[in-house]
Amino acid sequence: MDNIADVLQKAFPGLEGDGLDDLMAVAHKRFYPPDTVIVHEEEAGHTFFVVLKGQVEVSKQIDGQTRRVLQRHGPGEFFGEMALIEELPRVATVQTLTPSTLLEIHKDDFDTALARHPTLALTVMRKVTQRLRWADQTAIAELRQQNEKLARAYHKLAEQERLRSEFLTTIAHELRTPLTAADGYLSLIASGKLPADQVQEGVGRAARSVKRVVKLVNDILFLQEMDLILPEFQPVSLRELISQAVADRSQQAIDANLSLRVQVEEPLPEIRGDPEWLRRAIDALLDNAIKFSPNGGEISIRIARRSEQIRLSISDQGVGIPTDQMDRVFARFQRIERAGPHLFGGVGLGLPVARQVVEQHGGTIEVHSVEGQGSTFVLSLPATD
Ligand code: ADP
């Protein structure tokens, strides 16, 4: 479309007769090579443009780094319309994308033509208003989108902040309980008021409390650092790791009237792994099984080879995990608050540590659980022979 009359009629439908002739008389044809900036945002301008041939791009600087393309105009489309309405600076930058020929009409000439032909004024104003309304709607839609994005980001931040503050409160409580106990026993011993035959037990209890604190702090540091360090792989016997972990908890199991059963399916090859890391994972699962088990319950630990994997499962007959919470429990600092008479301590570090360890060993961890009946955690680690 390079006929000036056709292009002006496309730009302003209904424009004809003298009005069209007058506009054609004041329109100057001008050629621009590609990538030429025709109007620059924020600069004053008195010219209105209609594309005769080629294509131009309208863009706007959003912030220091982002320039957003608003529109592309081809033959029969116009830009620079604000110049017709008021002496306003340009609101966007327009640049040629291809070799382009533009019709340029100076504001004064346009005004003269408008004054002579009221119908021209109506046609032009109708089209310009349409364009402005479209721009408004686009801006509103964009604002709405930005608002939604902001609201989502805000909710995410608020949720993170809630978790962080919950975590700090929990951790403060988890630290305070054993520290207060240790402090109590040690003060009593230091004051000489504890009968001599109970000193040994008092020291033992203080030491266990301090150990709990050390373990908690170690878990936090381990979880923070384990993204940065790699496990030290060597041949490891899972059977041995399990029997050490179980032996370490024999007193605890007796105290809670729990039986720990270990079943190993032969033959069981060694795996390649970091024994210290794997112990952390096993400890976390065993500690949870003990913590969430009822008095008199049984915890059963099975190790077996299943084709290319060694499976270690730890089952308890405890409180179980609600189905809708199952995905959450492996995330850092996530705990399930349980209603009811029994309060379980914990800060939500055990399962994330276990998962990280297992994943660093190329394995997986999954959980099967029925609320009120018990849970089974299954570690699958690659067999190496
Ligand atoms: P915590 O220190 O709270 O035990 P974990 O990361 O080890 O943290 O576990 C996260 C949550 O998963 C626990 O608060 C608990 O609700 C649930 N959970 C983990 N193991 C068991 C289990 N054996 N039985 C029931 N719930 C469990």
Distance CA 250, CA 157 (A): 43
- Residue 312: φ, ψ to 5°: -120, 120
Q: Is the separation of the CB atoms in 379 and 277 below 8 Å?
A: no
The residue behind tokens 């044809």 is: 29
The Cα angle at residue 249 between residues 244 and 255, in degrees rounded to 5? 160
pLDDT tens figures, 87-106: 778 888 999 999 999 999 99
Backbone dihedral region for residue 362 (phi beyond 0: left; psi -120 to 50: alpha; all else: beta)? left
Question: Is the same domain home to 165 and 205?
Answer: yes
| CATH number assigned to the domain comprising residue 264 | 3.30.565.10
Confirm whether 290 is domain-assigned. yes
Of 225, 252, 277, the residue that ends a domain is: 225
Sheet holding 56-61, edge to edge: 37-39, 93-96, 56-61, 67-73
Q: Is the separation of the CB atoms in 372 and 320 below 8 Å?
A: yes
Q: Whose CA is nearest to atom 4 of ligand 1?
A: 346
Question: Is the same domain home to 288 and 211?
Answer: no
Q: Residue 74: its pLDDT value, please?
A: 94
Of 225, 243, 269, the residue that ends a domain is: 225
Confirm whether 344 is domain-assigned. yes
Distance CA 223, CA 345 (A): 19
Q: Is the separation of the CB atoms in 10 and 74 below 8 Å?
A: no
CA distances from 268 to 43, 271, 281 (A): 79, 9, 19
Q: Whose CA is nearest to atom 23 of ligand 1?
A: 289
**Residue of 218, 219, 288 best suited for mutating to test ligand 1, as the one with most atoms within 8 Å of CB:** 288
Distance CA 1, CA 185 (A): 95
CA distances from 294 to 21, 129, 302, 339, 342 (A): 95, 74, 20, 16, 10
- Residue 66: φ, ψ to 5°: -105, 130
Give the distance, in angstroms, between the CA of residue 133 and the centroid of all CA atoms in the same chain.
36
Q: Which two tokens stand for residue 191?
A: 């004051």
Question: Is the same domain home to 43 and 97?
Answer: yes
| CATH number assigned to the domain comprising residue 25 | 2.60.120.10
Q: Whose CA is nearest to atom 8 of ligand 1?
A: 348
**Residue of 260, 301, 351, 353 best suited for mutating to test ligand 1, as the one with most atoms within 8 Å of CB:** 351
Question: Is the same domain home to 158 and 290?
Answer: no
Q: Residue 252: its pLDDT value, please?
A: 87
Question: Is the same domain home to 206 and 327?
Answer: no
Confirm whether 166 is domain-assigned. yes
Q: Whose CA is nearest to atom 11 of ligand 1?
A: 335
Confirm whether 125 is domain-assigned. no
Which DSSP state fits 267? S
Question: Is the same domain home to 88 and 151?
Answer: no
Residues forming a β-bridge with 236: 271
Does the pTM surpass 0.85? The reply is no
Confirm whether 132 is domain-assigned. no
Residues forming a β-bridge with 39: 94
CA of 355 to the centre of ligand 1 (A): 13
Q: Is the separation of the CB atoms in 249 and 262 below 8 Å?
A: no
Q: Residue 155: its pLDDT value, please?
A: 93
CA of 348 to the centre of ligand 1 (A): 7
Question: Is the same domain home to 107 and 148?
Answer: no
CA of 232 to the centre of ligand 1 (A): 27
pLDDT tens figures, 304-327: 998 889 999 999 999 999 998 888
| Pocket (CB within 6 angstroms of ligand 1) | 284, 288-289, 292, 316, 318-321, 329, 334-336, 346-352, 375
CA of 291 to the centre of ligand 1 (A): 9
Q: Residue 342: its pLDDT value, please?
A: 56
What residues in the chain have per-residue pLDDT under 70?
Answer: 1-2, 337-345
Q: Whose CA is nearest to atom 14 of ligand 1?
A: 335
Q: Specify the number of domains making up the chain.
A: 3
pLDDT tens figures, 170-211: 888 888 989 999 999 999 999 988 888 888 988 999 998 998
Q: Which domain holds residue 367?
A: 234-382
CA of 169 to the centre of ligand 1 (A): 18
**Residue of 171, 217, 290, 329 best suited for mutating to test ligand 1, as the one with most atoms within 8 Å of CB:** 329
Residues forming a β-bridge with 262: 301
* Burial of 311 from C-beta contacts in 10 A (0-12 / 13-18 / 19+): middle
Of 225, 246, 261, the residue that ends a domain is: 225
Q: Which two tokens stand for residue 226?
A: 């384990």
Q: Residue 193: its pLDDT value, please?
A: 86
Question: Is the same domain home to 256 and 180?
Answer: no
Give the distance, in angstroms, between the CA of residue 119 and the centroid of all CA atoms in the same chain.
57
